[in-house]
Chain A
Amino acid sequence: MTEPTPTAKLATQGILARARWHPLEFVFWIVAFGSIWFAPNKHLILTEIAWLALFALSLDLILGYAGILSLGHAAFFGVGSYAAALLAKHGIVTEPVLALFCAGLVAAVLGFATSFLMLRGADLTRLMVSLGVALVLRELANQFGWLTGGADGLQGVTMEPILGLFRFDMFGHNGYVYCLVVLFVLFLAARRLMASPFGLSLLAIKGNPLRARAIGIGVDMRLVAIYTIGGFYAGVAGGLLAQTTAFSSLDVFSFDRSADLLLVLIIGGTGYLYGGIIGAVIFKIMQDYLALWSPQYWPFWIGLVLVVMVLVGRDRMTRWSEPLRALVNRLDWRRTPS
């Protein structure tokens, strides 16, 4: 084999840099895992943050990377949630990790099936179809009360210890560690996925589907793939909710949940994987604080945040994340063309 040319060496470095870890990222995860010890009395809300972060990460995969506008992402979350709860309740798969994986698979199957509906049409059509799928599933869950508990929710779920070793305790310690580990593992997988040629091709499709086709990228199959993966992630997030609360209700399919999720992701910024996690932290803290202050009118403040963010410009609002985003996407954000 011949020696690569100087440009080839530079090019290799340039592409590989996308996958390289930056020190800030290590700090981020050290802090995240550190919270297990330095914030033991906050584990219940941290658990919520963890599954919400995973849920937002799943939306980031399809919206932030592939550019698919969805208003019904709760469909996958809900299916995963019910799947996890039902598996535990009926003793089909009692070990939580395995059950969680199954819940993700069920949601992935749904993602695969509905992805074909999302290929056609413009943004509004996709929006309506995704919203419609979530609403249909909610109606189904409501109708099949013998299975899902209907409007009362699915009660009487008892969780076995994780890996047969760690019990879900009432302070949520083990539950939090469990959620955080799942989030971390799936984050690593997503990071790897997005540093691959496949991940890069999604960004290309989002940027310009016409040209993506013109350079030979099979656009439809890539979108099907990422929508399926996004479904898996959302399903696991829903499964985590069901497992840590030992409960699942119709609320998991609600429109508000999909809409809130958009806000979570938008606060953190799309397209660099950390946005959903950071957004989840900010959102939950905000919710906690505002809920004390004016619980009934909490939607008003969510709405106000959304309106202001759009008017001011999302790019400007999330500019603080630019350095981190640049690190992850390996874009040289400071350099101007010479």
Chain B
Amino acid sequence: MTVALETSHLVKKFGGLTATNDVSISIKAGARHALIGPNGAGKTTLINLLTGMLKPTSGRVMLGGIDITNMSPQKRVRLGMVRTFQINQLFGDLTPLETIGLAISEQHGDGADFWRVAGTKAGVNQDIADILDRFRLADVMNTKTSILPYGKQRLLEIAVAIACKPKVLLLDEPAAGVPDDERHEILTSIAALPKDVTVVLIEHDMDIVFSFSETISVLVNGGLFTEGPAAEVARDPRVKAVYLGESLDA
């Protein structure tokens, strides 16, 4: 099996505080991997290091064997490192159609076309339509994003990421804040993600973590606490002690 994403001895310090402490993770291509840890364990910092929003103090990040440690965020996206956000980061004034269209245009390398009317490339339009269909957004494709129901916005959040044709997709609490009746739609979409996409899930909800992931890494205090197959991690008494305790006993 080839390795899709790898970090080696990744360290990030903010002044005196070490937010990420010597983290070495290796995630296989096509894996369903979960990244868990209590609040303040450094999950968000790690995502920011992986996606290039932050530069590490030391250590390296490799994507599909390519060193991306010093690459800009948008270059990483083009290489296939894509994320979603815990809090929706969408374009309120644009429609789902336009939002996905933008991402696909960037993928096709014609996002900077300034003299071509948008929508004149059939291939692009078909790609957009496929994603709209897949994420059940076709019926609201011309509605301003800011007035979409929250569940639809959450779906769009993932749909945009998929439109970037990810090799590695980082899902940051995809179901956060979604009301129960709309939750199902999100989980189905996640389960239906293409198999060739490596998915890294950052999640608090243990039900989702265990129903979805095959392998788990546990972060505590910025460092890698333990990792392994989901079932093993679930049984690990030390993990229970630091983190899982209640949610497993219940």
Interface on A for B, CB 8 Å cutoff? 1, 4-5, 7-8, 10-12, 14-16, 18-19, 192-193, 195-201, 203-204, 207-208, 210-219, 221-222, 225, 331-332, 335-338
Q: Are A215 and B102 in contact (CB under 8 A)?
A: yes
Chain A, residue nearest B106 (CB): A216
Given A200-B94, A215-B164, A217-B102, A15-B129 contact (CB < 8 Å): no
Q: Are A10 and B106 in contact (CB under 8 A)?
A: no
B149 contacts across to A, CB distance below 8 A: 337
B233 within 8 A of A: no
B32 within 8 A of A: no
Q: Are A15 and B73 in contact (CB under 8 A)?
A: no
Scan B127-153; emit 1 where CB is below 8 A from any A CB, else 0.
011101100001111111001110010
> Within the complex, what minimum Cβ distance (angstroms) separates A225 from chain B?
7
Q: Are A211 and B101 in contact (CB under 8 A)?
A: no
Chain B, residue nearest A196 (CB): B114
B115 contacts across to A, CB distance below 8 A: 192-193, 196
> Within the complex, what minimum Cβ distance (angstroms) separates B90 from chain A?
7
- The CA of A108 and the CA of B126, in the complex, are separated in Å by 37
B189 within 8 A of A: no
Q: Are B106 and A215 in contact (CB under 8 A)?
A: yes
**Would you list the 7 A-B pairs with minimal beta carbon distance, nearest first?**
A15-B119, A216-B77, A8-B129, A198-B114, A207-B91, A7-B129, A211-B89
**Complex partner residue of A193 from B105, B111, B114, B128, CB under 8 angstroms:** B114
Contacting residues of chain B (149-183) with chain A, CB-CB under 8 angstroms: 149, 152, 160-161, 163-164
**Complex partner residue of A15 from B93, B113, B118, B164, CB under 8 angstroms:** B118
Chain A, residue nearest B100 (CB): A11
B152 contacts across to A, CB distance below 8 A: 337
Chain B, residue nearest A209 (CB): B89
Q: Are A14 and B82 in contact (CB under 8 A)?
A: no
Contacting residues of chain B (75-94) with chain A, CB-CB under 8 angstroms: 77-78, 82-83, 85, 89-94
Indicate the member of B101, B129, B138, B148 with the most A CB atoms within 10 Å: B129
> Within the complex, what minimum Cβ distance (angstroms) separates B154 from chain A?
14
Can you list 26 pairs linking A and B with CB atoms under 8 Å apart? A4-B122, A5-B130, A7-B129, A11-B97, A11-B125, A12-B125, A16-B120, A193-B115, A197-B101, A197-B114, A197-B116, A198-B112, A200-B102, A201-B111, A204-B102, A207-B94, A213-B73, A213-B74, A214-B83, A215-B102, A215-B103, A216-B78, A216-B164, A217-B111, A225-B112, A332-B143
**Complex partner residue of A207 from B85, B93, B128, B133, CB under 8 angstroms:** B93
Chain A, residue nearest B105 (CB): A197
Q: Are A197 and B142 in contact (CB under 8 A)?
A: no
Chain A interface, >50% SS class: helix
Q: Are A15 and B101 in contact (CB under 8 A)?
A: yes
B143 contacts across to A, CB distance below 8 A: 332, 335, 337
Q: Are B117 and A192 in contact (CB under 8 A)?
A: yes
Contacting residues of chain B (3-42) with chain A, CB-CB under 8 angstroms: none
Given A198-B114, A338-B139, A208-B91 contact (CB < 8 Å): yes
**Complex partner residue of B74 from A10, A217, A331, CB under 8 angstroms:** A217
- The CA of A141 and the CA of B202, in the complex, are separated in Å by 58
B163 contacts across to A, CB distance below 8 A: 215
A5 contacts across to B, CB distance below 8 A: 126, 129-130, 133
- The CA of A4 and the CA of B133, in the complex, are separated in Å by 13
Given A4-B125, A219-B74, A11-B132 contact (CB < 8 Å): yes
Contacting residues of chain B (36-85) with chain A, CB-CB under 8 angstroms: 51, 73-74, 77-78, 82-83, 85
B110 within 8 A of A: yes
A336 contacts across to B, CB distance below 8 A: 147
Chain B, residue nearest A218 (CB): B74
A338 contacts across to B, CB distance below 8 A: 139-140
A225 contacts across to B, CB distance below 8 A: 112, 114
Chain A, residue nearest B109 (CB): A216
Q: Are B133 and A197 in contact (CB under 8 A)?
A: no
> Within the complex, what minimum Cβ distance (angstroms) separates A160 from chain B?
32
Q: Using A11-B119, A216-B111 as known contacts, list a sample of 19 further A-B pairs with CB atoms less than 8 Å apart, ordered by residue number in A.
A: A7-B141, A12-B122, A15-B125, A193-B114, A197-B110, A197-B114, A203-B91, A203-B93, A204-B99, A207-B90, A207-B92, A212-B91, A214-B82, A215-B161, A217-B111, A331-B95, A337-B140, A337-B147, A337-B152
B73 contacts across to A, CB distance below 8 A: 213-214
Scan B198-226; emit 1 where CB is below 8 A from any A CB, else 0.
00000000000000000000000000000
> Within the complex, what minimum Cβ distance (angstroms) separates B122 from chain A?
6
> Within the complex, what minimum Cβ distance (angstroms) separates A75 from chain B?
24
B89 contacts across to A, CB distance below 8 A: 208, 210-211, 214
